[in-house]
Structure 1
Amino acid sequence: MLSIFDQGPPPACPSPFNLAAHVLRCSDRLSDKTALSVVGSMDARNWTFCELQQAILGTGTGLLNAGLKPGDIALMRLGNTVDFPIAYLGAIAVGIVPVPTSSQLTEPETERMIKDLRPAVILRDPQVACAAHPVQIDLSNLAGMRDLPAAEFQMGDPERMAYVVYTSGTSGKPRAVAHAHRAIWARQMMVDGWYGLRETDRLCHAGAFNWTYTLGTGLMDPWTIGATALIPAPGTDLDALPALLRHHQVTIFAAAPGVFRKVVSSTDDLDLPELRHGLCAGEKLSRHLHEQWAQATGTELYEAYGMSECSTFISSSPAHPARSDALGQPQPGRRVAILGPDGPVPQGQEGTIAVHRSDPGLMLTYLNAPDEAESRMQDDWFLTGDQGAMAVDGQITYLGRDDDMMNAGGYRVSPVEVEAALSRFPGIVQVGAAAVEVKQDTFVIAAFYTGPEKLDDDALRTYVEANLARYKQPRAFIHLPELPTGGNGKLLRRALPAYFKATNP
């Protein structure tokens, strides 16, 4: 048997359609229910579904009044506050295309995005770094829009562009990934295929408002089915999370593996009586951490796999737990295969994880790089770049990347982008970047370089702080007489972690 999972397609996305309208579909029925709680250790700022919908649609009106029109691109340079999802959904509600970005990006990084996107406007918190642009709407003006008369949802073809997210490709140039309004429809397959989510749940996501993992899993998906989303207040210490989860009666907790690791190590008392289970994504969950969490809390962690180009499509769930050696299985409604050069490989054989072209969660294209998007296709399959093997029961074991992409703290980072930035530093002749393990299950980015002499680490740190977002910045700099190369002289990035171990026994 070949490594293909196909149990039939999901229901077709209705038309006309609007992503924000779908997210807010429960707002009238559950108008007085708490949709969002921004929670501190003992208190919370609550938003009802009615208040949330008014803020979003008022923002939509304000953006139109500012002269924007459907199809315009709005680059989002906002911080970790509730302003982020309100502006995001407000734009989508009226057909404007938001581009959420990390507040950690530096001014040079945003300058390249502005040249790439040519946005009509920047939605801007003055405290967040951003290159110059002639049209900006600041935070105070955005907040003032919330009380304006509610806009009408702009309904239309579910295939039209709804939003754009950035990812780093193997070339090192971040790509603008365009997604359709139908992307939110695809996320319904996660409700049972990953979350086990109910309308009565109180789902807390530990990430920032301006992280796409938080936007989807932590906010939009709970709202879509009428559940309550909880987000820790900005500045909340991770050590405070156990008490926060207990006090606010969280039933599902979502985070990247590093957060679960911190919570487990922060206290001997993880008594969370309301918690049903945890949701984990962003980087590979180690079996050791999984077992630690289960022992400490008496609850399970359910892992998921997705990417910027396609919403999460492989996962474990309460209904379908993963075997100890497996990531999980494709969600019902997904078409997934493990491919070799000639197509799907036999079950049990290693190949590249691929999702079918027809998946409603798959991107439209890379803006300004459609040829690169098409190069990721093999017949009707989109190649993820990750390796796996599919068992007879459809469960998939994750076997790593087939390129050198790094993952530290839940963010995928291209080593080429880091190397390109550092190669401009005086005194560096050649540079390579790799993720290295500094303690069990904890990875950071390290830069390895050659040059006439060892350079000052503080100077290197200052340089990368000015040129790379924090999650892209190397935490260690290792001077070597030469970098490892293959027979053709090409840098062997996979050999670099061994040099780190040799210099940091």
Structure 2
Amino acid sequence: MSDDRQPPARFNAARYCLAENARLRADKTALILAGEAGPRATLSFGAVDRAVRGIAAGLLGLGLEPGARVMIRMGNEADYVLVYFGALAAGLVALPSSPQLTPAEAGFLMENSGAAIVVAGADCPTDPDSLGGCLRLGPAEIAAMKAGPPLDDYAETGADDPATLVYTSGTTSRPKGVLHAHRAIYGRRPMHAHWLGLRESDVMLHAGTMNWTYTLGVGITDPWAVGAGTVLYDGPRDPAVWPRLIAAYRATLFAAVPSLYRQILKYADLAAHDLSSLRHGATAGEALPVDLLKAWTAATGKPLYEALGMSEISTYVSSGPTVPVRPGSPGKPQPGRRVAILPATDLPVSGEPEPLPPGETGLLAIHRSEPGLMLGYWNRPDEEAAVMRGEWFAGGDLARLDAEGYLWFEGRNDDLMNAMGYRVSPNEVEGVLAAHPDVAEVGVAELAVRADVRVVCAFVVLKLDAEADATALLAWCRARLAAYKCPREIRFLASLPRTPNGKVQRKRLAEAAAAP
């Protein structure tokens, strides 16, 4: 008996999202890139399919071998999406990256991934010295590819062939690459019905930027997989703009992080806009506070459905049309997912770990048979082995399942921080601050500034005779780190709390800063 949870052996993610749409609904709007004063670009499924296959042919015409990495370093523009799917269509590996990265950070990704191509937007300068043997393509080259002869068909890739390389903060001082196969897009199907409630007639408005996997997945890939259209925004990030966009484009679904929903409630005039088209909102990237859930539903009369996921597998626990919201819980494992709570201990030498019963806290794990699970960490076999417990992947989240199957998140089993939905390694931030000439020691951790708001904070011990200048230290970070990685607060300490073995106790940093 076939397993419909698994994709066919020969499977191309770009073909899955575009080929049938181009055949059945070529003239339907696939993507609107909205600007402050109206649409900046509007593309039909037929136009997207043609452009994607043109870019794929152009990339292969450069002599790239299957699996070669194509780094995308662009802002929120339509070509970002087209290049992303063009790489997949050609059997290459797309490497989406943030335009906020400094040249040094981008250079690390190029070098670490062994990227053959970097596609750079006009607003994303690339340091020539950081390119090495990597070829840079700009807007003119991509325009020529789009207009050139397209591939006759999408590459005949296997479901397990590499498709996407996403860099995320790890437990070391440098980001690590998460390598996904083409099957990962097929593995998103349970969230369509059980979190998003996606329909072909939907219009998805996503508030994220294109480099984020939340946006590429929920904002583009998922709607296209069912023949729905999507709206993204390239304009000033005023929270009041989102209700206006919902009304203007008759969006039926809206996706954002919880903090943006809170800003909309605070700064937007919801009553001034017709939100009748909106069926519900979706949220991920951060935990959804109970008071925010209540405030949003009271103000709009629309449900708000939460999901829990990670770069290694996307979202796999959610509330939604089939799972009633339970405030404080992100929901239940989506039907078809094999999810368990495992003891938070090392795996025995032999045998499989025994899942914990309902009510007990342990490591949240998902079975390796899940088609959405990553292929592995790029060139980091030790870290890859560390997250496997027999046949289970456990990424470090602590949680428990109640008797009715709802999941309750209990934090991280390591020190990774969550800043505006991005996972940020304290090691990376500490490495930057430790290089400042006035800094003797530094520890970085989350700091609660309000009941439901946590920010990245650096706890600094200064060198003798150095002056406490938080503004200068923050500027130092901004010059060397993407904006979402930068500390929002600097606290000065006489010494850092340490274990008897000398290891910094990050969980005690805030306590040490508050002590008289």
Q: Alpha carbons of 1:66 and 1:202: their partners in 2 closer, same or farther (altered >3 Å)? A: same
Give, in whole Å, the separation in 2 of the partners of 1:218 and 1:111: 28
Aligned mate of 2:301, from 298, 303, 307: 298
- Which residues in structure 2 correspond to 1:247-286 (within 5 Å)? 247-270=248-271, 271-286=274-289
Q: Alpha carbons of 1:49 and 1:174: their partners in 2 closer, same or farther (altered >3 Å)? A: same
- What SS does the corresponding residue of 2:240 show, helix, strand or coil? helix
Q: Alpha carbons of 1:180 and 1:462: their partners in 2 closer, same or farther (altered >3 Å)? A: same
Give, in whole Å, the separation in 2 of the partners of 1:501 and 1:221: 45
Q: Partner of 1:47 in structure 2?
A: 43
Whether 1:150 aligns to 2:150 is yes
- Given that residues 5 and 371 in structure 2 are in contact (C-alpha distance below 8 angstroms), is that contact kept between their aligned partners in structure 1? no
Give, in whole Å, the separation in 2 of the partners of 1:338 and 1:143: 49
Aligned mate of 2:409, from 398, 402, 409: 398
Whether 1:464 aligns to 2:459 is no
- What SS does the corresponding residue of 1:343 show, helix, strand or coil? coil
- Given that residues 464 and 473 in structure 1 are in contact (C-alpha distance below 8 angstroms), is that contact kept between their aligned partners in structure 2? yes
The C-alpha deviation readout for 1:80-129, integer Å capped at 9, x for no partner, is: 21111100000110111111111111112122222211211111124214
- Given that residues 493 and 513 in structure 2 are in contact (C-alpha distance below 8 angstroms), is that contact kept between their aligned partners in structure 1? no
Q: Partner of 2:499 in structure 1?
A: 486
- Given that residues 54 and 146 in structure 1 are in contact (C-alpha distance below 8 angstroms), is that contact kept between their aligned partners in structure 2? yes
Q: Partner of 1:318 in structure 2?
A: 321
Q: What is the letter of the counterpart of residue 210 of structure 2?
A: F
Q: What is the letter of the counterpart of residue 452 of structure 2?
A: D
- Which residues in structure 2 correspond to 1:271-420 (within 5 Å)? 271-340=274-343, 341=345, 342-420=353-431
Q: Partner of 1:163 in structure 2?
A: 164
Q: 1:216 Cα deviation (Å)?
A: 0.5
- Given that residues 5 and 187 in structure 2 are in contact (C-alpha distance below 8 angstroms), is that contact kept between their aligned partners in structure 1? no
- What SS does the corresponding residue of 1:467 show, helix, strand or coil? coil
Whether 1:79 aligns to 2:80 is no
Q: Alpha carbons of 1:445 and 1:19: their partners in 2 closer, same or farther (altered >3 Å)? A: same
Give, in whole Å, the separation in 2 of the partners of 1:130 and 1:265: 38
Unaligned runs of 5+ in 2: 346-352
- What SS does the corresponding residue of 1:217 show, helix, strand or coil? helix
Q: Partner of 1:476 in structure 2?
A: 489
RMSD over aligned CA atoms reads 1.8
Q: What is the letter of the counterpart of residue 252 of structure 1?
A: L
Give, in whole Å, the separation in 2 of the partners of 1:346 and 1:9: 27
- Given that residues 406 and 414 in structure 1 are in contact (C-alpha distance below 8 angstroms), is that contact kept between their aligned partners in structure 2? yes
Give, in whole Å, the separation in 1 of the partners of 2:313 and 2:415: 20
Q: What is the letter of the counterpart of residue 471 of structure 2?
A: D
Corresponding pairs, count: 496
Q: 1:75 Cα deviation (Å)?
A: 1.5
Q: Partner of 2:94 in structure 1?
A: 98
Q: 1:459 Cα deviation (Å)?
A: 2.3
Q: Alpha carbons of 1:362 and 1:476: their partners in 2 closer, same or farther (altered >3 Å)? A: same
Q: Partner of 1:435 in structure 2?
A: 446
Give, in whole Å, the separation in 2 of the partners of 1:130 and 1:304: 35
Q: 1:236 Cα deviation (Å)?
A: 4.5
Give, in whole Å, the separation in 1 of the partners of 2:400 and 2:67: 41
Q: More relative contact order in 1 or in 2 (CA 8 Å, sep 6+)?
A: 1
Give, in whole Å, the separation in 2 of the partners of 1:435 and 1:347: 29
Q: 1:487 Cα deviation (Å)?
A: 3.4
Q: What is the letter of the counterpart of residue 424 of structure 1?
A: A
Give, in whole Å, the separation in 2 of the partners of 1:325 and 1:163: 32
Q: Which deviates more from structure 2 when the two are superposed, residues 324-333 or residues 480-489?
A: 480-489
- Given that residues 169 and 414 in structure 1 are in contact (C-alpha distance below 8 angstroms), is that contact kept between their aligned partners in structure 2? yes
Q: Which deviates more from structure 2 when the two are superposed, residues 88-97 or residues 71-80?
A: 71-80
Q: Partner of 1:3 in structure 2?
A: none
Give, in whole Å, the separation in 2 of the partners of 1:437 and 1:149: 55
- What SS does the corresponding residue of 1:53 show, helix, strand or coil? helix
Q: What is the letter of the counterpart of residue 170 of structure 2?
A: G
Give, in whole Å, the separation in 2 of the partners of 1:458 and 1:258: 25
Give, in whole Å, the separation in 2 of the partners of 1:27 and 1:443: 44
Q: Partner of 2:7 in structure 1?
A: 13
Give, in whole Å, the separation in 2 of the partners of 1:356 and 1:454: 52
Q: 1:78 Cα deviation (Å)?
A: 1.3
- What SS does the corresponding residue of 1:431 show, helix, strand or coil? strand
Q: Which deviates more from structure 2 when the two are superposed, residues 494-503 or residues 311-320?
A: 494-503
- Given that residues 443 and 458 in structure 2 are in contact (C-alpha distance below 8 angstroms), is that contact kept between their aligned partners in structure 1? yes
Q: Partner of 1:140 in structure 2?
A: 140
Q: 1:267 Cα deviation (Å)?
A: 2.7
Unaligned runs of 5+ in 1: 1-7
- What SS does the corresponding residue of 2:270 show, helix, strand or coil? coil
- Given that residues 100 and 164 in structure 1 are in contact (C-alpha distance below 8 angstroms), is that contact kept between their aligned partners in structure 2? yes
Q: What is the letter of the counterpart of residue 346 of structure 1?
A: P
Q: 1:325 Cα deviation (Å)?
A: 3.5
Q: 1:242 Cα deviation (Å)?
A: 1.3
TM-score w.r.t. the length of structure 2 is 0.92
Q: Which deviates more from structure 2 when the two are superposed, residues 73-82 or residues 411-420?
A: 73-82
- Given that residues 447 and 510 in structure 2 are in contact (C-alpha distance below 8 angstroms), is that contact kept between their aligned partners in structure 1? yes
Q: 1:429 Cα deviation (Å)?
A: 1.3
Q: Alpha carbons of 1:130 and 1:370: their partners in 2 closer, same or farther (altered >3 Å)? A: farther
